[in-house]
Amino acid sequence: MKGDNEHRSIRRQRGRWAARAIFFCLSVVAAGFINLQIFSSDLYTLRSSENRLRTITVPAPRGTIYDRHGRAIADNVPGYDVSMLPGPRDSISAGLDRLAERLELSPERRAALLSRNRDRPGDALVVRENANFEQVAFIEERRPRFRRVVVDQRPHRRYPAGPAIAHMIGYVGEISQEELERPEYAGYESGQSVGKAGLEEQYEHRLAGRDGIRYAEVNALGTVVRDLGVGPAQAPVPGDDLQLGIDLDLQVYADSVFPEGMRGGVVALDPVTGEVLLLYSHPTFDPNAFIGGIRLDLWNSLREHPDEPLLNRVSMASYPPGSTWKLVMSTIGMKTADVAIDTYQTDTCDGGLRYHTRYFRCWLSRGHGRLNLSEAIKHSCNVWFYQAGQRIGLDPLLAEVGEFGFGRTTGIDLPSERPGLFPDSRQWYDDRLGRGRWTEAVVWNLSIGQGENAQTLLAMAQFYAALATGRAPVRPHLVRDEMLAQQRADWTLDLPEVQRNQLVDALARVVNEPGGTAYGSRLARWTLAGKTGTAQNPHGEPHSWFVGFAPAYDPRIVIAAIVEHGHPDGAPSLAVPLAAGIVDRHLEALGLPPEETPGVRPTEAFRVQAGG
């Protein structure tokens, strides 16, 4: 009897322990269920969505860039991008192999894509931007073979005027690894398009906008099941539009008339507002070729071409200014050496002038005879200006040139502007040539825009803008902006108005009086004032310069033009008719009434001093 009771007690005890164990297990399961359904539901829903959904970047349309009349210089058109969703590396590699021939992926491009996938395996991979219809159709017709491939319709950049605006507008391209590491590109991602030159680079953060996000639903194999669109995610925000002071018609005209096969550039400014009306460099390139990725062979040909078509010759190249520099010398002479408009030099021009053992030539071998300053500007006499340099002196000349902004950038709203060259002290010569290995004769070469003197088109245009208006020049700017229009250079000519007007008269004589070096390019309806220049260089024929403004006595445009090797001996200067034609076209487009009698209208002060 006792034994039966003990067995029943043991069974009851075991039953209680079993019940407790079952209760404990059920409690754990219930707690886990409650945690899963209530407390952790958001987390697991997110993880489920991450396994089911793939995010795809939706690029924002870049802002449109307009010219002064509201015509599009850079806008956007629909295009197709081909991307691959994240996945195993061997799947990505196999997918690229299948796409390579049809999408024209070079081995270098394929290697770069695999490297990007290795660095950021969780991101969608943009394989090809701006794919054509045939390439898209090839993928869609074979959709089972391209399970991870997504084709998106995205905005792509377009430059309607193409090569005519290339150096001014720049182009867009895929962001590089080096750029991704720079602080100004914080927040950008691999595969994004960014401005690479010109205004596209300068105003990248205003033009770019903010990219959006959309989702694509995939199955367990990574195959796209359906596109969920932008709605649940984030819509892109378009970039800001820009309006320029550029006249698109003038750009296209400059491209059409620039001497074929020659190198050079031309820039035109509004002397009152500082707006850039025209900025053209030649040879040029088509910025549309960069959209969606430029072909490697084309890129190499542009980089390696001896004419350097990627170089902006307006803001990034400097040249000996030649005789266009003589107005700088005239201004400094009036300020520091008691030079007047009717000043005659000691030695007449008989074709040259000797300095100790060296003979410095004038461009006219028979000589100009006895000239005053106004006549020396009109005829561009070197001998007169050799003596002006000697009269001013080397040290004052070096000091005064820096006061006009030479040797610095103008501050135009373009990336990579380079300053010109001009020595700032005697020490400059000692450091480069060696103490005792140079003489005071350097001032003679500097005085006619040669020697250690090289300036950009922008710097020369800015100086002539100050001469045209008598005020501190407004910093050149491409974008129409009130703040930019108020930014003036920190210098003026500091000349009495009478003397400034006398120099304007002399420049008008250059173009509008017989014997002036630009007389053959005078305008029929307006008075063009300006200075020609023939700049010697060691690499061939002289460069051809022209810098001027019009109308001379109410300036609406300042222009600076250069044609490299554009003034061979015995041949006409190529820069002068180029510049004159552009000025005439601009004034006509403005609707400016023609002058009753175009030509020199000397001031009373000029007539008294010059005996005119």
pLDDT digits (tens, 9 = 90+) for 408-429: 999 999 999 999 999 999 999 9
Please indicate, yes or no, whether residues 580 and 546 belong to a single structural domain of this protein: yes
CATH of the domain at 257: 3.40.710.10
Predicted confidence (pLDDT) at residue 587 exceeds the cutoff of 80:
yes
Measure the CA–CA gap between 195 and 190, rounded to whole angstroms: 14
Measure the CA–CA gap between 198 and 200, rounded to whole angstroms: 5
Helices (H), ranges, 486-574: 497-512
Predicted confidence (pLDDT) at residue 227 exceeds the cutoff of 60:
no
Q: How confident is the model at residue 50 (pLDDT cuts 50, 70, 90)?
A: very low
Instruction: Give the pLDDT confidence of 185-201 residue by residue, as tens digits.
Output: 988 887 788 999 999 99
Structure tokens at 480: 């129409």
154 secondary structure, DSSP code: E
- Give the per-residue pLDDT at 41: 58
Q: Which amino acid is at 59?
A: P
Predicted confidence (pLDDT) at residue 329 exceeds the cutoff of 90:
yes
Please indicate, yes or no, whether residues 100 and 177 belong to a single structural domain of this protein: yes
Please indicate, yes or no, whether residues 516 and 581 belong to a single structural domain of this protein: yes
- Is residue 46, in this structure, part of any structural domain at all? no
Instruction: Give the pLDDT confidence of 454-469 residue by residue, as tens digits.
Output: 999 999 999 999 999 9
Q: How confident is the model at residue 39 (pLDDT cuts 50, 70, 90)?
A: low
Q: Which amino acid is at 530?
A: G
Please indicate, yes or no, whether residues 220 and 288 belong to a single structural domain of this protein: no
- Give the per-residue pLDDT at 447: 97
- Is residue 45, in this structure, part of any structural domain at all? no
CATH of the domain at 181: 3.90.1310.10
Please indicate, yes or no, whether residues 271 and 239 belong to a single structural domain of this protein: no
Q: How far is CA 165 from CA 283, 574, 583, 608, in A?
A: 12, 22, 18, 48
- Give the per-residue pLDDT at 217: 64
- Is residue 439, in this structure, part of any structural domain at all? yes
- Is residue 4, in this structure, part of any structural domain at all? no
Please indicate, yes or no, whether residues 354 and 205 belong to a single structural domain of this protein: no
Please indicate, yes or no, whether residues 187 and 254 belong to a single structural domain of this protein: no
- Is residue 15, in this structure, part of any structural domain at all? no
- Is residue 540, in this structure, part of any structural domain at all? yes
Instruction: Give the pLDDT confidence of 480-508 residue by residue, as tens digits.
Output: 998 898 999 999 999 999 999 999 999 99
Return the exposure string of 127-145: e unless at least 16 CB atoms fall within 10 Å of the residue's CB, then b: bbbbbeeebbebbeeeeee
Identify the CA nearest to 251 among candidates 222, 215, 275, 276. 276
237 secondary structure, DSSP code: B
Measure the CA–CA gap between 312 and 281, rounded to whole angstroms: 6
Predicted confidence (pLDDT) at residue 606 exceeds the cutoff of 50:
no
Structure tokens at 263: 């190198």
77 SS3 class: strand
- Domain containing 435 equals 250-302+310-610
- Give the per-residue pLDDT at 612: 34
- Give the per-residue pLDDT at 13: 79
Please indicate, yes or no, whether residues 536 and 420 belong to a single structural domain of this protein: yes
- Is residue 450, in this structure, part of any structural domain at all? yes
Q: How confident is the model at residue 84 (pLDDT cuts 50, 70, 90)?
A: confident
- Is residue 39, in this structure, part of any structural domain at all? no
Please indicate, yes or no, whether residues 448 and 531 belong to a single structural domain of this protein: yes
Instruction: Give the pLDDT confidence of 351-399 residue by residue, as tens digits.
Output: 999 998 899 999 999 999 999 999 999 999 999 999 999 999 999 999 9
Domain end, chosen from 194, 226, 243, is at 243
Please indicate, yes or no, whether residues 234 and 256 belong to a single structural domain of this protein: no
Please indicate, yes or no, whether residues 393 and 530 belong to a single structural domain of this protein: yes
Please indicate, yes or no, whether residues 326 and 212 belong to a single structural domain of this protein: no
DSSP 459-502: HHHHHHHHHHHSSPPBPPBSB--HHHHT-B-S------HHHHHH
How many domains does the structure of the chain reveal? 2
Q: How confident is the model at residue 111 (pLDDT cuts 50, 70, 90)?
A: confident
Q: Tell me whether strands 172-174 and 193-195 are parallel, antiparallel or unpaired.
A: antiparallel
322 secondary structure, DSSP code: G
Domain end, chosen from 220, 243, 266, is at 243
Domain end, chosen from 243, 267, 282, is at 243
Identify the CA nearest to 440 among candidates 498, 340, 356. 356
